[in-house]
């Protein structure tokens, strides 16, 4: 291309500067090497820091330019050389290249920042809302058990609920659906797997073992309700009614069957709750608690809006569908609070809480998150791929853990690593499926050939550990 001046702009390609004199362009480069470098620079700067390029001076054709004859004149002084200038022009006065200009000028960078800030807002908002609502409930005389099973339980799923409702209201139903399915798969395979890698997980709680069959049954509901390719408004209301029944059953069983239900409940109220008081004996700090809850709710709403917008923007820029971004990025992002809670609980020796957090979160994701999303959006369409693959995978990961939960066994470190390995295979398959890779079918066959035997071995090992534990306890 020689020394032609190239202009690299958004969706403009290369243009001759001489053909568009005085036009506003982002960056000017004089060589092909500069053009290659400019492609990277323009992707970052985009149009947020556009430069005003002066029109190139018109040049005559080489054969028409008059020849200049220089005479040897000892008194002739050559003109001073201009100072060194970089290959691209400097910014004009009054134009700045601040952080905001760079961020707003780059779609991908701006979307990534929006998603990150939205995730931070979701996490902080959920914490503020749970603490504020829990303290309000405690001051009004509600027992801590009820607080743990309602306010805190809903609070742990607050990011998922906010994101799913926001995505559904924005017309991104695939993000809402992928968030539910992806979060449940992430919770079991990654959170339980990493918690087991941190320390072997021994499950002995009656409450947790009661919840596991409920979790498996609830995981089958999307497959049944979505068989007609639609999670309707009626289906969403039905799921919300099941949530109310589940909370009532959980509270009743915990009161009757366990001496200290809070010690083994999947959801613990925050520390520092005031003692239960009679109605009417509310202290003046109630306004502070109410303000904390309202601020948390506001952060949830704003954070959900930014997170969904940023995540879908990244998906569009990368050519990824909303469903896949919901199954992976959105699901993993909204599950970060559960991941931190479970790993910290495991390191502190509260392993029942770590397992109960995952089980309870999966139940709430289907009943509360999917139910609220379907009811608020007028229904969520179910793609054929989700119905035939992702829904069965969500059900299968719950079935894999049934032996350890029902037998009161232990999830060892190698078994936890196996769960994380399963999730890695799942993500790779999603990537190949999205890009329509030519080795997609071969990879699927290979995964089935590896996963099925490993699953049988894993289930047999878990059941064997449970039998040895039961024999040791009876002997």
Top pLDDT among 283 and 462 is at 462
Please tell me whether residues 50 and 122 are part of one structural domain: no
- What are the beta bridge partners of residue 230? 381
Among 56, 75, 94, give the residue marking a domain's end: 56
Q: How far is CA 406 from the centre of its chain?
A: 30
Q: Which of 46-50, 153-157, 248-252, 253-257 is least confident?
A: 46-50
Domain containing 25 equals 1-56
Please tell me whether residues 239 and 345 are part of one structural domain: yes
Residue 10 has pLDDT above 70, yes or no: no
Residue 429 has pLDDT above 60, yes or no: yes
Top pLDDT among 26 and 376 is at 376
How far apart, in whole angstroms, are the C-alpha atoms of residue 126 and residue 335? 12
CATH number, position 298: 1.20.1420.30
Strands 230-231 and 27-29: unpaired
Please tell me whether residues 298 and 409 are part of one structural domain: yes
Please tell me whether residues 51 and 184 are part of one structural domain: no
Q: In the prediction, which pLDDT does 463 show? A: 61
Burial 346-385 (b: 16+ CB within 10 A, else e): beeebbbbbbbbbbbbbbbbbbbbbbbbbbbbebbebbee
CA-wise closest residue to 27 among 13, 15, 44, 41: 41
pLDDT digits (tens, 9 = 90+) for 358-409: 888 888 889 988 998 898 888 888 988 888 888 988 988 888 777 666 666 6
Please tell me whether residues 453 and 372 are part of one structural domain: yes
- The answer to whether residue 354 sits within a structural domain is yes
Do 179 and 334 meet the contact criterion of CB atoms below 8 Å apart?
yes
- Average of per-residue pLDDT across 221-249: 91
pLDDT digits (tens, 9 = 90+) for 302-358: 887 788 778 878 877 877 777 888 888 888 888 877 777 777 777 777 676 677 778
Q: Which residues contact 393 (CB under 8 A, 6 or more apart)?
A: 181, 185, 426
Please tell me whether residues 223 and 344 are part of one structural domain: yes
Top pLDDT among 222 and 33 is at 222
CA dihedral of residues 25, 31, 32, 34 (deg, nearest 10): -60
Q: Which of 7-11, 73-77, 121-125, 437-441 is least confident?
A: 7-11
Among 38, 56, 74, give the residue marking a domain's end: 56
Q: In the prediction, which pLDDT does 27 show? A: 45
Q: Is 20 exposed, middle or buried (0-12, 13-18, 19+ CB in 10 A)?
A: middle
CA-wise closest residue to 127 among 290, 299, 243, 356: 299
Q: Is 335 exposed, middle or buried (0-12, 13-18, 19+ CB in 10 A)?
A: buried
Averaging pLDDT over each range in 15-29, 86-100, 209-223, which range is the top one? Answer: 209-223
CA dihedral of residues 268, 222, 384, 390 (deg, nearest 10): 40
What is the domain count for the chain?
A: 2
Q: Could you tell me what percent of the chain has a pLDDT over 90? A: 7
pTM, rounded to two decimals? 0.63
Residue 28: phi, psi to the nearest 5? -115, 135
- The answer to whether residue 445 sits within a structural domain is yes
Top pLDDT among 157 and 310 is at 310
Q: In the prediction, which pLDDT does 325 show? A: 82
How far apart, in whole angstroms, are the C-alpha atoms of residue 419 and residue 139? 42
Average per-residue pLDDT in the chain? 69
Please tell me whether residues 43 and 110 are part of one structural domain: no
Other beta carbons less than 10 A from residue 148's beta carbon = 23
Please tell me whether residues 318 and 386 are part of one structural domain: yes
Residue 5: phi, psi to the nearest 5? -75, 125
Top pLDDT among 466 and 354 is at 354
Q: In the prediction, which pLDDT does 96 show? A: 34
Please tell me whether residues 261 and 382 are part of one structural domain: yes
Q: Which of 92-106, 137-151, 199-213, 430-444 is least confident?
A: 92-106
Please tell me whether residues 13 and 112 are part of one structural domain: no
How far apart, in whole angstroms, are the C-alpha atoms of residue 132 and residue 24? 52
- In this prediction, residue 252 has a pLDDT band, given cuts at 50, 70 and 90, of confident
- In this prediction, residue 73 has a pLDDT band, given cuts at 50, 70 and 90, of low
Please tell me whether residues 49 and 130 are part of one structural domain: no
- The answer to whether residue 357 sits within a structural domain is yes
Q: In the prediction, which pLDDT does 234 show? A: 93
Q: In the prediction, which pLDDT does 237 show? A: 95
* DSSP single-letter state for residue 475: -
- The answer to whether residue 85 sits within a structural domain is no
Do 399 and 185 meet the contact criterion of CB atoms below 8 Å apart?
no
pLDDT digits (tens, 9 = 90+) for 163-176: 888 888 878 788 88
Among 56, 78, 95, give the residue marking a domain's end: 56
How far apart, in whole angstroms, are the C-alpha atoms of residue 302 and residue 308? 10
How far apart, in whole angstroms, are the C-alpha atoms of residue 433 and residue 444? 10
* DSSP single-letter state for residue 259: S
Do 165 and 180 meet the contact criterion of CB atoms below 8 Å apart?
no
């Amino acid at each position: 291309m020689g020394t032609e001046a190239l202009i690299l702009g958004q969706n403009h390609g290369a243009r001759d500067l001489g053909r568009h004199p005085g036009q506003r362009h982002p960056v000017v480069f004089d060589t092909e090497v500069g053009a290659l470098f400019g492609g990277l620079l323009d992707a970052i700067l985009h149009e947020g820091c556009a430069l005003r390029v002066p029109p190139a001076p018109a040049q005559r054709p080489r054969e028409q330019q008059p020849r200049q004859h220089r005479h040897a004149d000892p008194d002739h002084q050559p003109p001073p050389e201009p100072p060194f200038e970089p290959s691209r022009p400097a910014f004009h006065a009054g134009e700045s290249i601040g952080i905001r200009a760079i961020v707003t000028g780059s779609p991908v960078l701006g979307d990534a920042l929006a998603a990150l800030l939205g995730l931070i807002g979701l996490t902080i908002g959920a914490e503020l809302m749970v603490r504020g609502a829990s303290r309000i409930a405690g001051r009004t005389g509600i027992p801590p058990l009820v607080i743990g099973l309602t306010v805190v339980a809903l609070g742990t799923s607050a990011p998922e609920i906010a994101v799913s409702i926001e995505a559904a209201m924005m017309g991104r139903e695939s993000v809402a659906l992928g968030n539910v399915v992806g979060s449940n798969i992430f919770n079991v395979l990654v959170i339980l797997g990493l918690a087991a890698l941190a320390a072997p997980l021994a499950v002995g709680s009656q409450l947790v073992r009661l919840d596991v069959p409920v979790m498996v049954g609830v995981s089958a509901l999307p497959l049944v309700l979505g068989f007609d390719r639609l999670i309707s408004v009626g289906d969403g209301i039905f799921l919300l009614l099941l949530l109310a029944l589940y909370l009532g059953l959980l509270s009743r069983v915990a009161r009757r069957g366990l001496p200290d239900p809070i010690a083994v409940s999947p959801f613990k109220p925050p520390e520092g709750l005031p003692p239960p008081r009679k109605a009417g004996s509310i202290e003046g700090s109630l306004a502070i608690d109410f303000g904390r809850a309202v601020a948390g709710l506001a952060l949830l709403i704003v954070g959900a809006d930014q997170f969904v917008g940023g995540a879908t923007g990244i998906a569009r820029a990368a050519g990824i569908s909303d469903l896949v971004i919901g199954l992976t990025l959105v699901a993993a992002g909204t599950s970060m609070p559960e991941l931190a809670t479970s790993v910290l609980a495991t390191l502190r020796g509260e392993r029942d809480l770590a397992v109960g957090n995952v089980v309870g979160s999966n139940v709430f994701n289907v009943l509360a998150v999917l139910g609220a999303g379907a009811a608020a959006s007028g229904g969520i369409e179910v793609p054929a791929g989700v119905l035939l693959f992702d829904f069965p995978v969500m059900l299968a990961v719950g079935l894999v853990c049934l032996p350890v939960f029902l037998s009161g066994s232990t999830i060892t470190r190698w078994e936890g690593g196996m769960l994380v390995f399963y999730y890695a295979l799942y993500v790779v398959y999603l990537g190949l499926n999205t890009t329509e890779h030519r080795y997609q079918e071969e990879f699927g066959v290979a995964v089935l050939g590896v996963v099925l035997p490993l699953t049988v071995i894993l289930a047999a090992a878990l059941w064997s550990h449970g039998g040895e534990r039961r024999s040791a306890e009876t002997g």
